[in-house]
Amino acid sequence: MAPFKFCPKCAKELVDRDDGGAQRRACPDREGCGFVQYENPTPVVAAIVERDGSVILVQNKGWPSTWFGLVTGFLEKGEEPRSAMLREIREELTMTTSEISFVGHYAFEAMNQLIIAYHAVVEGEWTLGDELAAAKAVPIDKVKPWPMGTGPALKDWLEQRKRTAP
């Protein structure tokens, strides 16, 4: 999201100023208005969707044909992260989840997002939701994490599986 140019409270042109040791866009009228633009990260949920020994990777519409990733979506106002993850799996793959576990949270600085990642076991066949161009099942022993975004969550989950394998 691009920073505001004008104050959304009083319409004065914003300036750069020190705010608690960080440079932020802020209203020049500290006393009368006091608006400061904080660029807080956007919360996103991600699901490592497992079915029959494979991870289902998805391709969003508009992505290059070689890009696949985890099921993801924005956390809605008032929504609990676990519920948001279940909703995203239903919306994107029309699948229900039988087993859920928390994987971790990850900063995705390039998109200013906080990713809250889960592992979800599903059954049955998928149907692509409106946001997806494709999906594919990759055997767990063949799936390779990518360096940023949801990739570190997948990497941690794969490492955890290795540590807890009988």
Predicted confidence at residue 38, as pLDDT, reads 85
Alpha helices in the chain (DSSP H): 81-93, 151-164
* pLDDT tens for each residue of 33-88: 999 988 889 999 999 999 999 999 999 999 999 999 999 999 999 999 999 999 99
Res 40: pLDDT: 85
Structure tokens at 52: 């029959």
pLDDT in tens, 100-123: 999 999 999 988 999 999 999 999
Going from the N-terminus, what domains does the chain have, and what CATH number goes with each?
Answer: 1-37 (no CATH), 42-164 (3.90.79.10)
Considering Cα of 122, then 161, then 48, then 77, what sign does the dihedral take? positive
Task: Look up the pTM and report it.
Answer: 0.84
SS (H, E, C) 109-132: HHHCEEEEEEEEEECCCCCCCCCE
Confidence of residue 165 (pLDDT cuts 50, 70, 90): confident
Task: Name which of 132, 121, 149, 1 is nearest 61 in CA terms.
Answer: 132
Q: Using pLDDT thresholds of 50, 70 and 90, give the confidence band for residue 2.
A: low
Containing 102, the helix (H) or strand (E) segment is: strand 97-108
Question: What's the CA angle centered on 165, arms 114 and 81, to 5 degrees?
Answer: 25
